[in-house]
């Protein structure tokens, strides 16, 4: 949001390599890069894809300005041939990505870029920063929303976000993951996400007493009066004053007290006591909202304690994904043009999880025909097909004696083409459509995958042809 053109938001080595590719005559060679991730935040069972719309905006607006080129010229590193190439730069890659809101798993290609090596390499940083950030927040939000068991979750973290971009786009990602709204006003203006928020403690402190503060707020906002009851004492003054305002100010106007908010103390205990007081006063429709450093674990404990809470405001632990604040997506070369064909490339490491899966690939999800439950994902070579009318045996890509025969299934390709030779063909959806799709797809996962602790490992396997290719390259490059 700092500037409209983010072309220069890149690691410097993308530019040095681009210049080198051009000078060495390999810049126009076709290359394929995959983005994937290795670990799920918080040790969860799955992650949520988010940020595709912003990636599309970035790729549509890739261009180098005169100021960009002059800056690079002054580095005294780059040839005039390269600077002229940048002056006439036009993005011409093919790009595939998972739909926003799709549950995803380690090792799967979630973004694939195929095109001239200079271009496909150059976009690495923005592909990663865009998808990593929003996927991290959407994943955390989904955990929190599931812990709340259908109760309203509002994202309250703007002031704790690492920047204003993180606040704005974090609210968007939180909504995709399952939050119902945000306190971030500009996110409603930009994306249509419902805003939540009434008063801070400073409102109460501005008046001579708590009752006067609640009364003034009720008179100002009689249709949406939700008061913060913990500035002084929740049970001795806050809730009684809220009830008094409901009876003396709102009801004579034909209005109802919308709710109270608890922001400190023993939330479970206070919510039960407050609920009893409100109900005895005939305010059974008055909701209780809780905030104060909440996350999925605290919310789950509150639910187990039968806390009388109708809505949760979740701040810093959501907007920063505080408990697991890095989404480790990486972007790796998997194929390069040789003699008119794409030759696979592999990266080998002593750490088995860092060995890449080579080649230009596709990704499929198997679903049970009767229940629509997700059964497994399969990474294949691009162009492979799956016969839905015959059993299909999948096997673990490392412990390959572990096999499962799938029957009575249908498959869905997960990677959607969003750019065709640089032309955007992305089918934009509303944010509500993306959120609904996310919640629907999460509901197809096994309950065991949804566990917060020690979730079942969802099957992500390689087709036999792809596994053979990977094995051949491992044999070729290891001694």
Q: How does DSSP assign 346-411, residue by residue?
A: ----SSGGGPPPPSSEEEEEEEETTT--EEEEEEEETT----TTS-EEEE-SSSTT-EEEE-SEEE
Largest CA distance in the chain: 85
Nearest to 409 by CA among 463, 446, 364, 367: 367
Task: Give the domains, in start order, of the chain with CATH numbers.
Answer: 12-137+325-477 (3.20.140.10), 147-319 (3.20.20.70)
pLDDT of amino acid 3: 56
Task: Tell me which DSSP letter residue 459 carries.
Answer: -
Cβ distance 89 to 66 under 8 Å?
Answer: no
- Those residues with Cβ within 8 angstroms of residue 321's Cβ, 6 or more apart along the chain or in another chain: 41, 136, 137, 139, 140, 327
pLDDT of amino acid 188: 96
Per-residue buried b or exposed e for 273-297, using 16+ beta carbons within 10 Å of the residue's own CB: ebbebbeebebeebbbbbbbebbbb
Residues 73-102 pLDDT 10s: 999 999 999 999 999 999 999 999 999 999
Cβ distance 438 to 368 under 8 Å?
Answer: no
**CA-based radius of gyration for the chain:** 26
Secondary structure (3-state) at 32: strand
Secondary structure (3-state) at 274: helix
The CB density around residue 309, as the number of other CB atoms within 10 Å, is: 25
- State which residues of the chain have pLDDT below 50: 1-2
Q: What are phi and psi of 252, to 5 degrees?
A: -60, -20
pTM exceeds 0.85: yes
pLDDT of amino acid 2: 44
Q: Are strands 361-368 and 341-344 parallel, antiparallel or unpaired?
A: unpaired
């Amino acid at each position: 949001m700092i500037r409209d053109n983010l072309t220069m938001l890149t690691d410097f080595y993308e530019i040095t390599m681009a210049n080198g590719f051009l000078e060495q005559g390999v810049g126009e060679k076709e290359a394929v890069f995959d983005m994937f991730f290795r670990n799920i935040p918080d040790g969860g069972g799955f992650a949520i894809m988010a940020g595709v719309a912003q990636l599309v905006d970035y790729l549509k607006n890739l261009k180098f300005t005169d100021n960009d080129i002059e800056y690079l010229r002054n580095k005294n590193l780059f040839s005039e041939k390269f600077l002229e190439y940048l002056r006439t730069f036009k993005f011409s890659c093919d790009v595939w990505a998972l739909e926003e809101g799709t549950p995803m798993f380690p090792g799967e290609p979630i973004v694939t870029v195929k095109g001239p090596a200079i271009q496909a390499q150059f976009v690495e940083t923005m592909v990663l920063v865009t998808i990593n950030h929003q996927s991290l927040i959407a994943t955390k939000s989904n955990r929190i929303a599931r812990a709340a068991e259908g109760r309203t979750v509002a994202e309250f973290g703007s002031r704790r976000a690492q920047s204003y971009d993180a606040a704005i786009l974090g609210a968007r990602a939180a909504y995709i993951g399952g939050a119902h709204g945000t306190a971030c006003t500009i996110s409603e203006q930009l994306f249509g996400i419902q805003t939540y928020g009434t008063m801070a403690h400073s409102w109460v402190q501005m008046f001579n007493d708590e009752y006067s503060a609640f009364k003034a707020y009720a008179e100002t906002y009689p249709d949406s009066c939700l008061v913060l009851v913990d500035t002084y004492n929740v049970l001795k003054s806050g809730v009684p004053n809220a009830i008094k305002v409901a009876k003396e100010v709102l009801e004579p106007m034909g209005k109802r007290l919308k709710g109270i908010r608890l922001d400190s103390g023993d939330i479970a205990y206070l919510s039960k006591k407050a609920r009893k007081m409100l109900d005895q006063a005939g305010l059974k429709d008055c909701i209780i909202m809780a905030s104060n450093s909440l996350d999925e674990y605290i919310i789950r404990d509150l639910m187990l304690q039968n806390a009388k809470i109708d809505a949760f405001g979740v701040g810093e632990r959501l907007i920063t994904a505080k408990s697991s604040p890095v989404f480790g997506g990486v972007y790796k070369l998997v194929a390069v043009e040789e003699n008119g064909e794409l030759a696979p490339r592999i990266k080998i490491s002593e750490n088995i999880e860092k060995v890449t899966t080579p080649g230009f690939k596709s990704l499929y999800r198997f679903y049970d025909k009767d229940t629509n439950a997700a059964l497994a994902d399969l990474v294949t070579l691009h162009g492979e097909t799956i016969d839905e009318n015959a059993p299909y045996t999948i096997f673990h890509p490392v412990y390959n004696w572990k096999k499962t025969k799938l029957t009575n299934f249908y498959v869905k390709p997960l990677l959607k083409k969003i750019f065709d030779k640089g032309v955007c063909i992305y089918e934009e959806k509303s944010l509500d459509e993306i959120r609904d799709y996310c919640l629907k797809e999460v509901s197809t996962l096994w309950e065991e995958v949804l566990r917060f602790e020690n979730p079942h490992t969802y099957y992500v396997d390689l087709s036999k042809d792809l596994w053979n290719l990977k094995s051949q390259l491992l044999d070729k490059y290891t001694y």
